[in-house]
Amino acid sequence: MPDSALGVLVLAAGKGTRMKTVLPKVLLPILDKPMLGYLLKAVLEIVPSGVAVLVGHQGEHVRDYLRAFPSVKVLWQKEQLGTGHAVQVSREWWSRFGQLLVLNGDLPFLSPDALKSFVEEHRSAGVDCSLLSFVTDRPDGYGRVLRGPEGVSIVEHKDASPQQRLIQEVNAGCYVFTTEALLRVIGRLENHNAQGEYYLPDVVGLMNAEGLKVHASIAGEDELLGVNTQAELAEMTRRMRDALVQSWMAKGVRVLDPSAVWVGPDAKLAPDVCLMPGVQVWGESVVGKDSTVGPYCILRNAVLGQGVNLTAYVIVEDSQLRDGAKAGPFAYIREGSLLDEGAFAGKFVELKKTHVGRGSKVPHLSYMGDAVLGEDANIGAGSVTCNYDGKNKFPTKIGDRCFVGSDTMMVAPVTLGDDSATAAGSTITADVPEGALAVGRARQRNIEGWVRAKKRQR
């Protein structure tokens, strides 16, 4: 390995005790993505290979999440005896690199640019250890950076004297080491401290004592805030939301109330999209140009074409709406559905794995499941595909230009041919030929004078 080869070790084995959750801290989501995902994305942008994540507490879950990052190596710290211990147990992996970047797993705001210039600064300064610090008026919980005549060292909050606690420059949990220098001191950490842990920041003091060169550079607080409590997680989530919504607005998205809209980090919005208050856009959703997402709509992995209009209270999950399609208010478009160009799903309509063909309409109070509707069909109010017999699901096919009368029950599997119609209130149990009217209801009879006769009896 050349001396310049850079390895990255992300520490993600800790409990995150202060979070008080079962899920390990690094998997807690900011918006709809685990905290660790943000850091890894930034890291992989500047270092595509040579990245490892150290897992331990609930490590199986973290490992499972890391399957989404196939180039990332998973290392284990079976017992979590501190951040220094974490670096000790992974020595065999990192000793192959010339330089090692060590990152706490809870740094979701760290940008690729900041990481890059930090590593470059370390290299050009020719030091053995660089660490990032920031100045904050809420330093509680962080390790304080002591700058004395013997150089830089760090004292953890719990070990700090009242005087030291007044220091506002804190350790960010982001370090670059020259591997050779790190190997010289890493075995010498001790755990005689308030937490009985092996602290990685103690390496800094040890290096100073060895006459190795340490450099602490101060960076902006915004990118370096850690996440240690639920309150901080909520605060980070809000900041991330603000940043994302602002960046979409800068690209031409219209947002009526930026404080009332939620957009996840993997969603994509085109210019001239309009987001009304209460909208949530999650997952890999895509919203095309000139589309309006009305109040309180929730999109999750929804793909909307151009000029789509969701009036209000529409939920779209794992489904697609093509150009000019319309939905809502109060529609639920579930997994695997497709509204083709100009199609419409209206009030209190649920679609599941259903393709609504071009220009077809399901305007009110209907359930369509496992159905394929052709073009320009119209589904009367209250119609239902009876697709489930309690055990299996069956398909319904509704042809082009079909006119399904109100309150038609289509007992699947069943096919309605092109240009066919059903009488209102029909229960359709057999296929309907092309162009036919299906009447599947009891014939009405009127009993003349019945009401008057009844009244007379009383």
Q: Nearest to ligand UD1 by Cβ — which residue? A: 143
* Stretch of 10-18, 244-252, 281-289, 290-298 lying at the interface with ligand UD1 (CB under 6 A): 10-18
Would you state the structure tokens that stand for residue 139, as one six-digit string?
């330093």
Of 8, 115, 170, 351, the residue at the interface with ligand UD1 (CB under 6 A) is 170
Does the protein bind ligand UD1 through residue 156 (CB under 6 A)? yes
Would you call 449 exposed, middle or buried from its count of C-beta atoms within 10 A (0-12, 13-18, 19+)?
Answer: exposed
Nearest Cα to 348, choosing from 372, 334, 328?
Answer: 328
Residues contacting residue 39 through CB under 8 Å, at least 6 positions apart: 10, 103, 105, 107, 108, 110
Site string for ligand UD1, 78-97 (x = CB under 6 A): --xxxx-xx-----------
Does the protein bind ligand UD1 through residue 319 (CB under 6 A)? no
Q: Where are the beta strands (DSSP E) in 105-261?
A: 129-135, 144-148, 151-155, 169-178, 214-218, 254-255
Q: Collapsing DSSP states into helix, strand and coil, what is residue 414?
A: strand
Q: 16 vs 357, which CB is nearer to Ca ion?
A: 16
Nearest Cα to 379, choosing from 394, 399, 353, 352?
Answer: 399
* Stretch of 7-15, 358-366, 413-421, 444-452 lying at the interface with ligand UD1 (CB under 6 A): 7-15
Q: 104 vs 420, which CB is nearer to ligand UD1?
A: 104
Is cis: bond before 271, omega within 30 of 0?
no
Smallest gap from Cβ 107 to Ca ion, in A, equals 9
Pick what 153 binds: ligand UD1, Ca ion, none; C-beta below 5 to 8 Å, kind-dependent. Answer: none
Smallest gap from Cβ 168 to ligand UD1, in A, equals 12
Q: 104 vs 130, which CB is nearer to Ca ion?
A: 104
Task: Give me the phi and psi of 348, to 5 degrees please.
Answer: 50, 50
Site string for ligand UD1, 25-54 (x = CB under 6 A): -x---------------------------x
290 vs 411: CA distance, rounded Å? 39
Q: 158 vs 251, which CB is nearer to ligand UD1?
A: 158
Task: Give residue for tokens 């299906």.
Answer: 438
Beta bridge partners of 171: 133
Pick what 273 binds: ligand UD1, Ca ion, none; C-beta below 5 to 8 Å, kind-dependent. Answer: none
For the range 379-382, what are the long-range contacts, defined as Cβ-Cβ under 8 Å and sequence gap of 24 or more?
A: 379/404, 379/408, 380/404, 380/405, 380/406, 380/407, 380/408, 380/424, 381/406, 381/407, 382/406, 382/407
Does the protein bind Ca ion through residue 305 (CB under 5 A)? no
Smallest gap from Cβ 226 to Ca ion, in A, equals 4
Nearest Cα to 183, choosing from 268, 243, 97?
Answer: 97
Is the Cβ–Cβ distance between 340 and 356 less than 8 Å?
Answer: yes
Smallest gap from Cβ 384 to Ca ion, in A, equals 53
Does the protein bind Ca ion through residue 226 (CB under 5 A)? yes
Smallest gap from Cβ 16 to ligand UD1, in A, equals 6
Does the protein bind ligand UD1 through residue 155 (CB under 6 A)? no
Residues 261-300 that bind ligand UD1 (CB under 6 A): none
Site string for ligand UD1, 239-268 (x = CB under 6 A): ------------------------------
C-alpha count within 13 angstroms, C-beta hemisphere, residue 328: 20
What is the separation of C-alpha 243 from the centre of its chain, rounded to a whole number of angstroms?
Answer: 15
Nearest Cα to 383, choosing from 438, 443, 321, 311?
Answer: 438
* Stretch of 77-85, 123-131, 235-243, 278-286 lying at the interface with ligand UD1 (CB under 6 A): 77-85
Residues 180-199 that bind ligand UD1 (CB under 6 A): 199
Q: 145 vs 270, which CB is nearer to Ca ion?
A: 145
* Candidates 61, 157, 215, 364; catalytic one: 364
Does the protein bind ligand UD1 through residue 204 (CB under 6 A)? no
Does the protein bind ligand UD1 through residue 171 (CB under 6 A)? yes
> Sheet containing 292-293: which strands, arranged edge to edge?
254-255, 274-275, 292-293, 309-310, 326-327, 344-347, 361-364, 378-379, 403-404, 421-422, 437-438
Smallest gap from Cβ 161 to ligand UD1, in A, equals 16
Q: 200 vs 273, which CB is nearer to ligand UD1?
A: 200
Pick what 77 binds: ligand UD1, Ca ion, none; C-beta below 5 to 8 Å, kind-dependent. Answer: ligand UD1
Active site (annotated) includes residue 364: yes
How many of the other CB atoms lie within 10 Å of CB of 64?
A: 10
347 vs 362: CA distance, rounded Å? 9
Pick what 21 binds: ligand UD1, Ca ion, none; C-beta below 5 to 8 Å, kind-dependent. Answer: none
Task: Give me the phi and psi of 400, to 5 degrees please.
Answer: -60, 140
Q: 173 vs 357, which CB is nearer to ligand UD1?
A: 173
Report, as residue numbers or ranges, the catalytic residues.
364
Footprint on this chain of ligand UD1 (rule: CB under 6 A): 11-14, 26, 54, 56, 77, 80-83, 85-86, 104-106, 142-143, 154, 156, 170-173, 199-201, 226, 228
Footprint on this chain of Ca ion (rule: CB under 5 A): 226
